[in-house]
Structure 1
Amino acid sequence: MAINPVRLNHAVFYVADLERSVAFYTEVFGMEVVASEPRFGAAFLRLPRSGNHHDLGLFGVGPDSTPKTRRTGLYHLAWQVDEITDLEVARDLLTGAGAYVGESDHGATRSVYGKDPDGNEFEIMWMLPVEKWGEFDDLAPVLPLNLDADIAEWGGVRTAGRVVTEAPA
């Protein structure tokens, strides 16, 4: 028997400056603050199209904390978008915010990467329709992203709308 989750419900980060991080996620991701807990220096944010209570929790730990360096632990979180053109918007917004760190074609997915003000890395990703994964069904290459070509090929194809409604048998 195994634990049977259907998706990642939310993520929580420790941040040096709570207000700075709330500003980043509300401006760059369009999130809204749905709850706060002043006793713990915490804010809980929701994505604009989410049906979730909150998608991200932020806990302020103060200015003496240091940005993370490569170590064991969390590397990044991936936020899935519905259309390939959302990656172009994400790249532009992240570049404008000084938060863009790269992009990749992973075969079955296309990705743009960014970092928040505390150095927490995240991925904005779009997934090809499952029936188009082909050779990438069991591969995850890191290839250069050709977003213009991908938009020409996949523009208008929405892939994030699938919802798991029941557990597998």
Structure 2
Amino acid sequence: MGEPPIHPQTAIGHVHLKVSDLERAVRFYTEVMGFELMQRWGDSAAFLSAGGYHHHIGLNTWESRGAAPPPRRTTGLYHFAILYPNRKELARAFKRLLDHGWPIEGASDHGVSEAIYLRDPDGNGIEIYRDRPREEWPRGADGTLAMHNAPLDFASLLAELEAEPG
């Protein structure tokens, strides 16, 4: 008998990113992405969160102050993902990117989720996404997931915000 599989309620927690310019990174993650600054460690680290948690994102310059982004086509983190609780909140995050003129690199409807891809000022890949309810996930004839890469319907996504006042 092998080891039991990982517990289904296991979650991946926060991410720590090496950045070259702490002030620039804090501005991006607070102003463009909407995270809240929770704590600073002088001019070398900052901790940001959603909803007052101790931190979801740690930023530091301990080994990277003034450094260039890692070159493409090397190993390392491809991207980290920020899960929004529903489609409306993903739409709100997307609109925030548009309002700040922040470029996106791609977007997909994966069947199980809708995702938008971008990079932070240091070149770190970010996926912002929302999951569909499990009962809506596409499945093959054998019951396995049938994820895909279809174009994301931006107009439909932004229409989530039309009912909002102001």
1:145: how far off?
0.8
Unmatched 5+ stretches in structure 1:
157-169
- Structure holding more helix per residue: 1
- Aligned to 1:116, which of 96, 120, 133? 120
Q: 2:81 aligns with which of 78, 81, 90?
A: 78
- Aligned partner of 1:146: which letter? D
Number of matched pairs: 150
Q: How does 1:1-150 map to 2 (within 5 A)?
A: 1=3, 4=7, 6-38=10-42, 41-47=44-50, 49=51, 52-60=53-61, 61-63=64-66, 65-68=67-70, 69-95=72-98, 96-135=100-139, 138-149=145-156
8 Å contact kept, 2:83–2:129: yes
Larger radius of gyration: 2
Residue aligning to 1:159: none
Provide the TM-score with structure 2 as the length reference.
Answer: 0.78
State the alpha-carbon separation in 1 of the partners of residues 33 and 158 from structure 2.
Answer: 21
Normalising by structure 1, report the TM-score. 0.77
Distance 1:3 1:130, change over 3 A: closer
What stretches of structure 2 of length at least 5 have no aligned partner? 162-166
d(CA) in 1 for partners of 2:81, 2:152 = 17
**CA-atom RMSD, angstroms?**
2.4
Query: How far off its partner does 1:122 sit?
Result: 0.5
Which segment is superposed worse, 116-125 or 93-102? 93-102
Deviations 1:104-128 (A, max 9, x none): 1111100111111001110110111
